[in-house]
Amino acid sequence: MPKYREIFIKKDARIIIWKITETEDELADLIKTTAFLEEVKSRKSLTSRKQFLATRIILEQEGIEKDLVKDENGKPKLTNHHISITHDTDYVGVMISNKDCGIDLQSISEKVKRVQHKFIDEDDLQLADSELDSLTISWCIKEALYKIHGDPMVYFKEHLRIVKKNGSIILSRILHPDYVKDVTLEIQKIDELYLTYTI
């Protein structure tokens, strides 16, 4: 069984976060659906293979692996629930909810500074004292917002706005004409990563 697993239970959602300490072979031994083992071979990166295996193990343990399909944009879907999946370095996260949801994990990295012009709007709220932390949190929030619908015509800078912060609670807004709405998220830190999810 996984050596590190945190489960957050909200009123209408479950969030599973797994820090992968297992080897690829140990993960492969945990998986029951052999079709997944064939699919993992197509992934060149060891990190990507381990993330894929860990995610599929979570889906199996939750009893939903056979219900998972992807829509026309590649967004994962379930028959009777909503799902959002994230991974970063040695972590994977799965959110299963009764309503539209989004989750993201982001490690703190200087690379966000190089691409901030692609996702930060002048009206976005500054979220932390440190520029690096603020940019990482902003990217994390916008990734979670994007995953609610997974429509490639929703652009981070133009359509996703960070409006207000109250402690760990973030009020944001989707401005794309097909999805206009306010969305509340929660943010927390796990080790050296930020975790954001819709609430």
Q: Are 197 and 185 within 8 A, CB to CB?
A: yes
Place of tokens 């966000």: 112
> Strand order in 193-198's β-sheet?
103-107, 193-198, 181-190, 169-174, 160-166
Q: Are 53 and 24 within 8 A, CB to CB?
A: yes
Q: Which domain holds residue 134?
A: 104-198
- Is the per-residue pLDDT at 95 higher than 90? yes
Q: What does the pLDDT average to over 13-40?
A: 88
Query: Is 140 in the same domain as 83?
Result: no
Query: Count of domains in the chain?
Result: 2
Q: What pLDDT was estimated at residue 9?
A: 82
Q: What pLDDT was estimated at residue 39?
A: 80
In degrees and rounded to multiples of 5, residue 29 shows phi and psi of: -70, -25
Q: Among the three residues 80, 100, 120, which one is the final residue of a domain in this structure?
A: 100
- Mean pLDDT of the residues in the chain: 92
Q: What pLDDT was estimated at residue 91?
A: 96
pTM of the model: 0.92
Query: Is 71 in the same domain as 129?
Result: no
Q: What pLDDT was estimated at residue 88?
A: 96
- Position 36, amino acid: F
Query: Is 94 in the same domain as 160?
Result: no
Query: Is 95 in the same domain as 112?
Result: no
- pLDDT more than 90, % of the chain: 73
Q: Among the three residues 100, 134, 149, which one is the final residue of a domain in this structure?
A: 100
Query: Is 33 in the same domain as 63?
Result: yes
Judge residue 83's burial from the number of C-beta atoms within 10 Å of its C-beta, 0-12 exposed, 13-18 middle, 19 or more buried.
buried
Query: Is 29 in the same domain as 108?
Result: no
Q: Among the three residues 70, 100, 130, which one is the final residue of a domain in this structure?
A: 100
Query: Is 87 in the same domain as 169?
Result: no
